[in-house]
């Protein structure tokens, strides 16, 4: 059974980020055992969401093939923290995981990209209507991935109207070359048969 589970895609439920300190480095060995993929996927999702520096500027996802986990997504460089390695280390420790393949891309270190990230967050979450519904969560459901001036929006929105407003606000930010809207719309209007 193959699963591709986007952390931001299923982050509709409010998740309390209780961890305030960085996970200590470790060299744990993989733990083998019988695998229930549904429970394993829930544990992996939970552990990734609990990473202390997982933010709206990070996109994490994973594929699960038996007991092999492939981490996907992108994260900005944020020295001295390394969510790229922290995600791998936390998944390694989960009982039932035998191998972790880390394909999380570390985005380039760019002051212009950080400026765009902050401006995009202000444009999207600064809107009273959008900010109240999507921003007042432990981990907001709209993630902003910026690489070399190109923006990709990931996550979940309630309806097509919100998606359109968010895309328009993201496109209005200065110094942005392009905006890719990869938001999942939960309540799409149903088309009537002709």
Alpha helices, H only, 50-130: 83-92, 111-125, 128-130
Compute the distance between CA of residue 73 and CA of residue 59 in angstroms, rounded to an integer: 5
> Which residues contact residue 144 at a Cβ distance below 8 angstroms, ignoring those fewer than 6 apart?
56, 57, 117, 120, 121, 124, 151, 152, 153, 170
Q: Supply 61's token pair.
A: 């996802």
Residue pair 52/22 in contact (Cβ under 8 Å)? The answer is yes
CB 106 within 8 A of CB 77: yes
37-49 vs 83-92: helix crossing angle, rounded to 10: 140
pLDDT in tens, the chain (194 residues): 444 455 544 332 223 223 323 333 434 444 444 457 888 999 999 999 999 888 899 999 999 988 899 999 999 987 677 888 999 999 999 998 999 999 999 999 899 999 999 999 999 999 888 888 888 877 888 999 999 999 999 999 999 999 999 999 999 999 999 999 999 999 877 766 66
The model's pTM: 0.74
Tell me how far apart the alpha carbons of residues 19 and 17 are, in angstroms, rounded to a whole number.
6
Taking residue 149's Cβ as centre, other Cβ atoms within 10 Å add up to: 13
**Omega prior to 138 cis, within 30 of 0:** no
Residue 14 has a pLDDT of 28
d(CA 8, CA 189): 22
Residue 149 gets the label, from left (phi > 0), alpha (psi -120 to 50) or beta, of left
Residue with tokens 């060299």: 27
Nearest CA among 3, 15, 2 for reference residue 141: 15
Q: Using CA atoms in the order 76, 78, 81, 83, what is the torsion angle rounded to 10 degrees?
A: -10
Per-residue confidence (pLDDT) for residue 46, from 0 to 100: 93
Residue 192: the pLDDT is: 67
Taken in order of first residue, the domains within the chain and their CATH numbers are: 2-106 (no CATH), 111-187 (3.30.1340.30)
Give the torsion sign (CA, 126, 132, 137, 142).
negative
Per-residue model confidence (pLDDT) at position 191: 67
Any idea what DSSP says for residue 98? -
């Amino acid at each position: 059974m193959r699963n591709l589970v986007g952390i931001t895609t299923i982050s509709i439920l409010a998740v309390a980020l209780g961890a305030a300190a960085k996970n200590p480095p470790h060299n744990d060995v993989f733990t083998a055992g019988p695998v229930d993929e549904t429970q394993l996927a829930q544990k992996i999702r939970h552990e990734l969401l609990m990473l202390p520096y997982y933010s709206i500027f990070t996109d994490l996802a994973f594929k699960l093939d038996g007991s092999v986990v492939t981490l996907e997504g992108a994260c900005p460089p944020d020295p001295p923290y390394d969510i790229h390695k922290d995600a791998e280390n936390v998944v390694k420790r989960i009982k039932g995981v035998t191998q972790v393949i880390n394909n999380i891309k570390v985005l380039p270190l760019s002051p212009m990209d950080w400026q765009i990230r902050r401006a995009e967050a202000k444009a999207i979450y600064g809107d009273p209507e959008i900010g109240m519904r999507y921003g007042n969560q432990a981990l907001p459901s709209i993630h902003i991935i910026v690489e070399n001036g190109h923006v990709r929006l990931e996550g979940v929105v309630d309806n097509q109207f919100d998606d359109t407003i968010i895309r328009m606000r993201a496109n209005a930010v200065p110094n942005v070359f392009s905006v890719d809207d990869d938001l999942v719309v939960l309540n799409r209007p149903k088309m009537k048969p002709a």
